[in-house]
Amino acid sequence: MPEDKKEVFLNQFYTDLLMAERDRLLTAETYKLSAGEFLLWLENQKIKLASVTTKELFYYSVYRKTLGISEITLAKDLSALRALGEFLVRENIWTENFALILDRPKSPRSLPAVLSVEEIETILSSIDTSTPLGLRDKVIFELIYSCGLRISECCSLKVIDVHLDEKFILVKGKGGKERIIPFGDRAYDLLVEYLNIVRPFLVKEKIVQEVFVNYRGEPISRKGVWKKFKEIQKLIGIDVKVHTLRHSFATHLLQGGADLRSVQELLGHSSLSTTQIYTHVTDRDLEDSHKNFFPGHKNVTDR
């Protein structure tokens, strides 16, 4: 395919992703780049796009593996090829989407970072609550940890969904799914002070549904929460993400004896397999303890 025609084709594919498939901009750009790599390979192999079958796609996948590309990138390649296949079928260039037959590579799943209870206490106790915004920050990160919230769930939490008397919050998670999460006495005390004193001071005459607001009395953004957490990180020297608080919540529950199904409900996971990764974290802790304290694993000179 001549270079000018290839660019026109890739732009058509890119536009189709945005308009017909309604993909995100970054996804469309990634798929366009991947499609370009595939077209270049076809050109080097002297294979016409219209004559491609599953065999050529398989050979291309093998070729990409020989380049030492990670499983994650290979999975993105396949997603791009499947999207390209859908486009080619609509354009009557392929009779069917041959890329659908290819198996998606399994990328290794890394264990989530988890903080100890002591580290959580260090983070929360480092927040200066002598100012209205400081108290607000304390409530935010206390709730994210003690309720296992995503940042987006914390930012979108409505006042009407906070039930102080019953000590639970109604959270709207991914896909609009709702779940009820209880909170403890410390979160209760902080919420009462924030909702009765700090929040009215920040909101003033505005009508705002969200619980957490910025200094202008407007709903706080995810970026705003992230920036506040970065400030705390610099202060105490613990380099983790806000989401690590949610990971720690789940792990501490399991370590405390909670069953997996309950943790799944509290986290709002649609699949139990997603929650099971936290059992591997606790298993790792057990292995470390076994190595450190079981005498059979110590050298004779250490006894």
Which residues are catalytically annotated?
A: 150, 174, 243, 246, 269, 278
For the chain, report the end-to-end CA distance as a whole number of angstroms. Answer: 72
Among candidate residues 1, 103, 6, the one with its CA nearest the CA of residue 62:
103
207-215: long-range contacts, CB 8 A cutoff, minimum separation 24: 209/158, 209/159, 209/160, 210/155, 210/156, 210/157, 210/158, 210/159, 211/157, 211/158, 211/159, 211/162, 212/136, 212/139, 212/140, 212/154, 212/155, 212/157, 213/136, 215/133
- In sequence order, the 6+-apart residues with CB closer than 8 A to the CB of 147 are 169, 171, 181, 183, 187, 249, 266
